[in-house]
């Protein structure tokens, strides 16, 4: 077997990327507001209305554009998707999707991804990059857009939102936290009402938006759906109450594309910008704002102060990220091949994309140390997911097909590949140096796959599951997936290959969980590698792990259940979703109802082993509600430190590797019914064999609070909290407690 060449430190370019951060957000919200106020004094009413109104779909180079005033040096704002790259522009770097970034559990990488994406957006003249995503949060495992976000755990999603936003905005683009709020499925997204209770809203769905606002996010996109019967983009309690009130959000709220339903109501309830400036009225293209907003102000239905507030927020966000300081002109057109007049890609960004993809790979099963592969004499590479779509990586609009290797989902949150390294490409690069014979079957035909497997020492079978945005249906899946099975009859393919008695390694490219029971029932399936949707460097990242240059270090950002029914949440064709599962989604549901998952939240194997020791909680907090005044992000004391939990982690194996140590908290009985364990800390440590590192989980008041619907505040319950530290939500290595 070829010796392992394991690396532990992040490549130098990532630290360089982070160190070279632009001075970033150079001014405070107060200063930004002051500058906006001076501008407001000189703007005409028409110019103000133009700043808050889109110029209609395809009316400018970006997916969203506003009118340019002449009395101040402020541009037509360019708003462009999306959460993993710059949509419709070419060339750009296609990073791993949000869900893969989440699977790294690596704050530094998530931030670096934000820095790099932000830099590419700025280079192309984008002002508002339409991401990151924390909704869909992912209560429904088959929901189409879960992969755009980081995790269905609000804590992991919240940390990632903050890192992504700070990274993006440090490069000078306005981030846009979306979709606010409760857009949890694609089917009927334009009509459905999401109706959770107040506590569930706060503790699950709003949680990552606290982090986003706390990180000074410049903008927030309100969603298509209704909430308790009222459209999200004209919902007083949601926009004025929660977002601008409780969370102290100072930036601007823009509508999802055509998610506005009224002129007056939306203005008075907190919407600040309408996108794209057309709507579904007849004739198409008539608009709720524009001159209709001016009329509503003239007749007194909308106060002048409301328009002034919209403009102030929009201008302040522009100043906040320094876009008044020589921001580049828009250098591409979404509607004309996207060819950019500048090349914003860099070798560092490509390397970062590879690193994130590699570090997001979750090793689920590895019997008899079948991986890493070492130097096999022969390998069978099987499945259509092993190669790039023969018609071209970008053949399908917005990646709306599942042909060839899957490295993004589909919809507005995608981008054009500058190139795509498929698994077979990268395997052949390695085989050329090791002399390994590669046998291929690059369809999903079971008989052909079995024939290839029979001719090799080891078989690699590639299977997929795809999903995306509901305006495209792919292979009968209306955005949301119809089930959690692998696509293209992947189970039959794996069964046929494994039946040849060839040791079989299954590689999964998937937007979210799939049911693995059929695959695991095949005795010859010796390993399962979970690669998610890894972006342009897919193949290289995979071979880095398969051939042992690096140990896998990703951990599942969601639960893989034994059956779809085990999750207790599915999408509905009804026009209301009562969110009856409440707080109990994903692992909170599996834990509360004592359902055994197949692979639990936070799970992932390495090529080495880790030992945990010396748990020391040092927490001190006063029980009761928050008392602080509202600042940006919520009550001032919500994010106040309450102490730390520390532990040691040692690499007890033979090779270097990285471990994600995880902290879960159990609440005292004095709190209302709460999930048995909730993630409240994580740290990723790179360790050489024999090396021990310290993990220090910093806890804030929010981490030990529940939302009290009676007092309408976050409350620290009195009593004893349980502390669980371990390698996953179920692989608990250390337990302890603290009392407040
Ligand atoms: C999506 C948004 C996206 C917008 C602009 C909408 O369909 O829901 O996420 O940013 O389109 O493309």
Residue 259 near ligand 1, beta carbon < 6 Å:
no
pLDDT at 6: 41
Kindly state if the Cβ of 212 falls inside 6 Å of ligand 1. no
Distance CA(200)–CA(421), nearest Å, equals: 41
Q: Confidence band (pLDDT; 50, 70, 90) for 286?
A: confident
Q: What is the pLDDT of residues 198-228, one digit of tens each?
A: 999 999 999 999 999 999 999 999 999 999 9
Q: Report the C-alpha gap between 458 and 160 in whole angstroms.
A: 37
Q: Does the pLDDT of residue 11 top 80, yes or no?
A: no
Residue nearest to ligand 1 atom 7, measured at CA: 257
How far is the centre of ligand 1, averaged over its atoms, from the C-alpha of 275 (Å)? 10
DSSP codes joined into one string, 354-419: HHHHHHT-EEEEEGGG--S--S-SEEEEESGGGS--TT-TT-SGGG-S--S---S-BSTT----S-
Q: Whose CA is nearest to atom 12 of ligand 1?
A: 412
pLDDT in tens, 35-84: 999 999 999 999 999 999 999 999 999 999 999 999 999 999 999 999 99
CA–centroid distance, 132 to ligand 1, in Å, is: 12
Lowest-confidence pick of 271-285, 362-376, 541-555: 271-285
Query: Tens digits of per-residue pLDDT, 396-412?
Result: 999 999 999 999 999 99
Q: How far is the CA of 166 from the centre of ligand 1 (A)?
A: 22
Tally of CA atoms within 13 A in the half-sphere of 344 that contains its CB = 29
Q: How many CA atoms lie within 13 A of 676 on its CB side?
A: 13
pLDDT at 17: 60
Helices (H), 435-537: 446-454, 490-498, 517-520
State the pLDDT at residue 5.
Answer: 40
Residue-level pLDDT at 279? 72
Tell the residue number behind the tokens 């990552």, with chain if given: 208
> Mutate which of 176, 257, 335, 398 to test ligand 1's pocket (most atoms within 8 Å of Cβ)?
257
- Is pLDDT above 80 for 14? no
Q: Is the pLDDT of residue 281 over 80?
A: no
Nearest residue (by CA) to ligand 1, atom 8, is 256
Q: How confident is the model at residue 24 (pLDDT cuts 50, 70, 90)?
A: low
Q: pLDDT tens, 292-303? A: 999 999 999 999
Instruction: Say if residue 2's pLDDT is above 50.
Output: no
H or E element, residue 103: helix 98-104
509 in Cβ contact with 385 (< 8 Å): yes
Q: Is 257 in the pocket of ligand 1 (CB under 6 A)?
A: yes
Average pLDDT over all residues of the chain: 96
399 phi-psi bin (left φ>0, alpha ψ -120 to 50, beta other): left
Q: Which of 61, 80, 81 to mutate to test the pocket of ligand 1 (most atoms within 8 A of CB)?
A: 81
The pLDDT score that the predictor gives to residue 183 is 98
Q: Is the CB of 130 inside a 6 Å radius of any atom of ligand 1?
A: yes
**Ligand 1 within 6 A of 256 CB?**
yes
Question: Of 24-33, 169-178, 347-356, 408-417, where does mean pLDDT reach its minimum?
Answer: 24-33
Tokens in use for 523?
A: 């005795």
pLDDT at 280: 65
Give the residue-averaged pLDDT of 645-650.
98
User: Of the residues 129, 149, 412, 471, which should be mutated to test ligand 1's pocket, given the most ligand atoms within 8 Å of the CB?
Assistant: 412
**pLDDT surpasses 70 at 284:** no
- Indicate if the pLDDT at residue 23 is higher than 60: no
Cβ atoms of 233 and 257 closer than 8 Å: no
From ligand 1's centre to the CA of 236, what distance in Å? Answer: 22
Supply the DSSP string of 334-349, one letter for each residue.
Answer: TTTTTB-SS----HHH
Instruction: State the residue for tokens 């308790």.
Output: 228
- Residue 282: pLDDT above 80? no
Q: Is the pLDDT of residue 500 over 50?
A: yes
**Which pLDDT score, from 0 to 100, does residue 1 have?**
31
Indicate if ligand 1 lies below 6 Å from the C-beta of 63: yes
145 lines ligand 1 (CB under 6 A): no
How far apart CA 227 and CA 517 sit, in angstroms, is 36
Tell whether ligand 1 has an atom less than 6 A from the beta carbon of residue 87: no
Instruction: Tell me what pLDDT residue 722 has.
Output: 98
Alpha carbon of 507 to ligand 1 centroid (Å): 31
Q: Would you say residue 30 has pLDDT above 90? A: yes
Structure tokens at 383: 């499945």
Residue 13 reports pLDDT greater than 70: no
Which pLDDT band, with edges at 50, 70 and 90, does 648 fall under? very high
Predicted pLDDT at 306: 98
Tokens 């792990």 belong to residue: 545
Spatial distance between the Cα atoms of 362 and 500, rounded to a whole number of angstroms: 26
Q: Atom 6 in ligand 1: which residue has the minimum CA distance?
A: 257
- pLDDT above 80 (res 172): yes
For residue 178, give the ligand 1 atom closest to its CA: 9
User: What band does 661 get if pLDDT is binned at 50, 70 and 90?
Assistant: very high
pLDDT, tens digit (0-9, with 9 covering 90-100), for 82-108: 999 999 999 999 999 999 999 999 999
Ligand 1 centroid, distance to 2 Cα (angstroms): 47
Q: What digits encode the pLDDT tens for the residues 556-596?
A: 999 999 999 999 999 999 999 999 999 999 999 999 999 99
pLDDT score at 12: 45
pLDDT of residue 7: 42
Above 60 in pLDDT, residue 10? no
Distance, in Å, from the CA atom of 559 to the CA atom of 602, rounded to the nearest integer, reads 8
**Domains of the chain, with CATH numbers?**
27-89+117-141+168-188+213-320 (3.20.20.300), 350-577 (3.40.50.1700), 608-739 (2.60.40.10)
List the catalytic residues: 256
Does residue 239 carry a pLDDT above 90? yes
Give the total residue count for the chain. Answer: 740
- pLDDT surpasses 60 at 22: no
Q: Ligand 1 in contact with 178 (CB < 6 A)? A: yes
HEC states along 208-250? HHHHHHHCCCCEEEECCCEECCEEHHHCHHHHHHHHHHHCCCC
């Amino acid at each position: 077997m070829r010796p392992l060449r394991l690396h532990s430190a992040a490549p130098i370019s990532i630290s360089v990327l982070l160190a070279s951060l632009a001075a970033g957000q150079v001014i405070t919200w107060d200063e930004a507001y002051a500058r906006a106020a001076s501008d407001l004094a000189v703007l005409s009413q028409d110019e103000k209305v133009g700043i808050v109104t889109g110029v209609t779909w395809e009316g400018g180079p970006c997916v969203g554009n506003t009118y340019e005033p002449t009395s101040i040096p402020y541009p037509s704002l360019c708003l462009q998707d999306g959460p993993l790259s710059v949509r419709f522009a070419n060339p750009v770097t296609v990073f791993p999707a949000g869900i893969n970034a989440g699977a790294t559990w690596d704050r530094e990488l998530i931030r670096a991804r934000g820095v790099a994406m932000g830099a590419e957006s700025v280079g192309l003249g984008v002002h508002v990059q339409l991401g990151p995503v924390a909704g869909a949060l992912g209560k429904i495992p088959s929901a189409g857009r879960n992969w755009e976000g980081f995790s269905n755990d609000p804590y992991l999603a919240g940390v990632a939102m903050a890192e992504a936003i700070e990274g993006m905005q440090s490069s000078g683009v306005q981030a846009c936290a979306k979709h606010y709020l409760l857009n949890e499925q694609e089917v009927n997204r334009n009509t459905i009402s999401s109706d959770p209770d107040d506590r569930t809203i706060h503790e699950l769905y709003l949680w990552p938006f606290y982090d986003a606002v706390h990180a000074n996010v410049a903008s927030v996109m309100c969603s298509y759906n209704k909430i308790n019967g009222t459209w999200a983009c004209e919902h007083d309690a949601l926009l004025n109450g929660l977002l601008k009130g409780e969370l102290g959000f100072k930036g601007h709220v823009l509508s999802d594309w055509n998610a506005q339903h009224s002129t007056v109501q939306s203005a008075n309830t907190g919407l600040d910008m309408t996108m794209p400036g057309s709507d579904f009225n007849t004739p198409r293209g008539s608009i709720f704002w524009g001159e209709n907003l001016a009329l509503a102000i003239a007749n007194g239905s909308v106060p002048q102060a409301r328009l002034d507030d919209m403009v102030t927020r929009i201008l302040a966000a522009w100043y906040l990220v320094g876009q008044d300081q020589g921001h580049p002109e828009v250098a591409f057109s979404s509607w004309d091949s996207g060819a950019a007049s500048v090349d914003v890609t860099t070798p560092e960004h490509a390397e970062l994309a590879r690193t994130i993809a590699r570090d997001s790979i979750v090793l689920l099963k590895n019997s008899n140390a079948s991986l890493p592969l070492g130097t096999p004499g022969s390998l069978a590479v099987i499945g259509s997911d092993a190669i790039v779509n023969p018609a071209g990586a970008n053949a399908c609009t917005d990646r709306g097909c599942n042909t060839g290797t899957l490295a993004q989902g589909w919809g507005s949150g995608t981008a054009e590949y500058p190139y795509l390294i498929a698994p077979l490409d990268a395997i052949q690069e390695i085989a050329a140096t090791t002399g390994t014979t590669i046998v291929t079957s690059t369809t999903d035909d079971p008989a052909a796959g079995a024939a290839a497997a029979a001719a090799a020492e080891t078989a690699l079978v590639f299977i997929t599951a795809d999903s995306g945005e509901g305006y495209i249906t792919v292979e009968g899946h209306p955005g949301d997936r119809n089930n959690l099975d692998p696509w293209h009859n992947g189970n039959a393919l794996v069964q046929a290959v494994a039946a040849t008695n060839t040791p079989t390694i299954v590689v999964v490219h998937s937007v979210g969980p799939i049911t693995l029971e059929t695959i695991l029932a095949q005795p010859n399936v010796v390993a399962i590698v979970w690669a998610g949707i890894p972006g342009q460097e897919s193949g290289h990242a995979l071979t880095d792990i398969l051939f042992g240059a690096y140990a896998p270090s990703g951990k599942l950002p969601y639960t893989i259940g034994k059956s779809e029914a085990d999750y207790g949440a599915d999408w509905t064709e009804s026009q209301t979703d009562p969110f009856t599962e409440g707080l109990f989604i994903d692992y909170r549901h599996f834990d509360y109802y004592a359902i055994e998952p197949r692979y639990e939240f936070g799970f992932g194997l390495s090529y080495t082993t880790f030992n945990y020791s010396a748990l020391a909680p040092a927490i001190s907090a006063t029980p009761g509600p928050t008392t602080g005044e509202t600042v940006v992000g919520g009550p001032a004391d919500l994010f106040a430190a309450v102490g730390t939990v520390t532990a040691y982690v040692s690499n007890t194996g033979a090779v270097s590797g990285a471990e994600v140590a995880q902290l879960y908290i159990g609440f005292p009985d004095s709190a209302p019914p709460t999930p048995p364990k909730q993630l409240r800390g994580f740290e990723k440590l790179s360790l050489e064999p024999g090396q021990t590192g310290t993990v220090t989980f910093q806890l804030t008041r929010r981490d030990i609070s529940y939302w009290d619907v009676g007092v309408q505040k976050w409350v620290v319950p009195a009593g004893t909290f349980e502390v669980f530290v371990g390698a996953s939500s179920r692989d608990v290595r250390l337990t302890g407690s603290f009392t407040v």
